[in-house]
Amino acid sequence: MTIKSAEATVSEATATGSQLVSLEPVHKRNVGTDFLPAMFENISVNLSAAERRIATLGARRTVKKAWQAAWLIRAIECIDLTTLAGDDTPGKVERLCAKARNPLRADLVRALGLGDYKLTTGAVCVYPMMVATAVKALEGSGVPVASVATGFPAGLTPMKDRLAEIKFAVGEGAEEIDIVISRRHVLTGDWVALYGEVRAMREACGEAHMKAILSTGELKTLSNVYKASMVSMMAGADFVKTSTGMEAVNATLPVSLVMVRAVRDYLDFTGQICGFKPAGGIRSAKEAIAWLVLMKEELGHDWLKPDLFRFGASSLLGDIERQLEHNVTGRYSSADRHGMA
């Protein structure tokens, strides 16, 4: 399969006519709005309806063979390759960055006919203390460094410390900041406090793009998920993100549906575009395609690009590489042949 045929199969599968190689950003950053309760206060989300909508995705979209390979190449470009462990070392981060620069083995790149196409992941995501290491390792690659901040994952440190952590990460070279909201504001319905908190974090980010992590598994209801998404975007979040990856329940398709509907409604209300990032528990190529289909059907082709869609994942790339090897050879290799380090 050549890159040209990959473009054609993606275009046919998504009925867009767009090319796989078109990854240039097409939108301005979200500047936010004033606090406007009318945009969210009367919303109530029906769980059964959300689950029924998700059930239609698999029935309506089946991606096979060359089409599947093309979709998986796009999935790679949307991965925030992540390490957020207590035993992170400079060497571990450098190995992750090397993988981000060259996410597929050279023999698979040749067999897929990718030629001179520069395939990388969407970003590398690390703790603030590892940002400088990642920036140096990725120099010249075009791969941005993202950093978690604001007392990740709980977000229960004093506000001044949370803002200082953002500024430290930006000062070290992070181009993207993944902040965590205070879940208590959502659970108590204190939307004014949530808006003010996220707004202050956005200001601390400066020119860095900000992704607001909602920790949806802890928000109790889908209505809370919708409202938290909307308030975060009103406060200036460039992305809304499902989870830290450390909650008991992380990214799910019904929750993601609610969040992307909020993104769509925010666009309708304000004319401003926001991105979406599911994170936590997404480990297989099949799951990756399900999320890409969700984005295509709910938001359109622009949200199949890394400036508006990311996967937060540490192990997803290994399974995608394994699936692409199967596409080339017709055989599944052992999963341990596709490790990160």
Is residue 241 annotated as part of the catalytic site, yes or no? yes
Residue from 80, 99, 178, 305 carrying the catalytic annotation: 178
Alpha carbon distances (Å) from 218 to 233, 241, 283, 312, 326: 19, 13, 21, 18, 38
How many residues are listed for the chain in this entry? 341
> For residue 134, what are its two tokens?
């990642």
Residue from 99, 241, 296, 305 carrying the catalytic annotation: 241
Report the distance separating Cα 334 and Cα 40, nearest Å: 48
Is residue 92 annotated as part of the catalytic site, yes or no? no
Is residue 107 annotated as part of the catalytic site, yes or no? no
Instruction: Please say whether the beta carbons of 202 and 160 come within 8 A.
Output: no
Kindly report the three-state secondary structure assignment for every residue of the chain. CCHHHHHHHHHHHHCCCCCCCCCCCCCCCCCCCCCCHHHCCCCCCCHHHHHHHHHHHHHHCCCCHHHHHHHHHHHHHCEEEECCCCCCCHHHHHHHHHHHHCCCCHHHHHHCCCCCCCCCCCEEEECHHHHHHHHHHCCCCCCCEEEECCCCCCCCCCHHHHHHHHHHHHHCCCCEEEEECCHHHHHCCCHHHHHHHHHHHHHHHCCCEEEEECCHHHCCCHHHHHHHHHHHHHCCCCEEECCCCCCCCCCCHHHHHHHHHHHHHHHHHHCCCCEEECECCCCCHHHHHHHHHHHHHHCCHHHHCCCCECEEECCHHHHHHHHHHHHHHCCCCCHHHHCCC
Residue from 211, 227, 277, 296 carrying the catalytic annotation: 277
The catalytic site residues sit at 178, 241, 277
